[in-house]
């Protein structure tokens, strides 16, 4: 009985090995045809679209991160001095949001300016919406509130806190205020309604 089971196992192993050898030999014989221009264009589209999707996810998660960080500072702060953490976090996350958003827009513009396959017209067609400029202005307003607005709000709250503040913290808050202005200016420069066409 055991000898029969071993013979069956050996026969199965030999069949699997022979099949693998035949498959490998068959795949060596079939040379892949060179890719045509449509295949290359589609491969490029998939590659770049994958990067754009990844950047969209990162950008959207940065919105949640600034909300969570602000809530954590509010919940855990015992002193107005700790509020000065929020502008730093808002600047760092806001800058990363802006960089990802500008690359997402750049990728979309690349697809619109370099049309590939006739069926891949989404990037062009959805930009012909007449209310696009209005939506972009509302998005700019939301971005300004979320990043530089949040940081600036905590700075104002720090400055309005009664009692004297150390000179070093006042200097730090002034530097943070300049950073919030710079970030707001960059959001305005990079936003679609104000961006110059190249």
Residues 137 and 176: their CA atoms lie apart, in Å, by 25
Q: Quick one: 15 and 113 in the same domain?
A: no
What's the confidence (pLDDT) of residue 115?
72
Q: Report which DSSP code applies to 1.
A: -
Alpha helices, DSSP H, located in the chain: 2-29, 37-76, 85-113, 122-125, 132-144, 150-160, 167-190
Residues 168 and 81: their CA atoms lie apart, in Å, by 11
Report pLDDT digits (tens) over 13-41: 444 444 444 444 454 555 565 566 678 77
CA 158 to chain centre: 32
What's the confidence (pLDDT) of residue 35?
63
Does the predicted model carry a pTM greater than 0.75?
A: no
Q: Report which DSSP code applies to 81.
A: G
Residues 41 and 37: their CA atoms lie apart, in Å, by 6
Nearest to 179 by CA among 158, 154, 148, 150: 148
Report pLDDT digits (tens) over 38-84: 787 778 888 888 999 999 999 999 999 999 999 999 899 888 889 99
Report pLDDT digits (tens) over 81-133: 899 999 999 999 999 999 999 999 888 888 777 776 666 666 666 667 778 88
Looking at the domain assignment, is residue 103 inside a domain? yes
What's the confidence (pLDDT) of residue 77?
86
Residues 45 and 136: their CA atoms lie apart, in Å, by 25
Q: What tokens appear for 181 in the block?
A: 């202005």
Q: Quick one: 61 and 21 in the same domain?
A: no
Q: Quick one: 52 and 149 in the same domain?
A: yes
Total number of domains in the chain: 2
Structural domain span for residue 93: 38-190
Q: Quick one: 43 and 75 in the same domain?
A: yes
Looking at the domain assignment, is residue 17 inside a domain? yes
What's the confidence (pLDDT) of residue 49?
85
Report pLDDT digits (tens) over 124-152: 666 677 788 888 899 999 999 999 999 99
Residue with tokens 């449509």: 38
């Amino acid at each position: 009985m055991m000898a029969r089971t071993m013979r069956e196992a050996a026969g199965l192993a030999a069949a699997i090995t022979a099949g693998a050898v035949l498959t490998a030999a068959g795949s060596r014989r079939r040379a892949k045809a060179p890719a045509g221009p449509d295949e290359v264009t589609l491969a490029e589209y998939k590659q770049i679209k994958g990067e754009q999707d990844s950047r969209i996810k990162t950008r959207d998660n940065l919105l949640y991160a600034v909300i969570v960080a602000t809530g954590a500072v509010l919940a855990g702060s015992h002193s107005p001095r700790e509020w000065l953490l929020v502008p730093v976090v808002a600047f760092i996350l806001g800058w990363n949001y802006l960089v990802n958003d500008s690359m997402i827009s750049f990728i979309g513009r690349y697809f619109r300016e370099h049309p590939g396959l006739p069926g891949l017209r989404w990037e062009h067609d959805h930009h012909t919406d007449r209310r696009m400029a209005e939506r972009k202005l509302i998005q700019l307003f939301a971005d300004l509130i979320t990043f530089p607005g949040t940081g600036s709000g905590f700075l104002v709250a720090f400055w309005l806190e009664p009692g004297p503040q150390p000179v070093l913290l006042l200097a730090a808050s002034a530097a943070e205020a300049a950073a919030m202005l710079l970030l707001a200016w960059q959001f305005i420069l990079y936003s679609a309604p104000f961006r110059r066409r190249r």
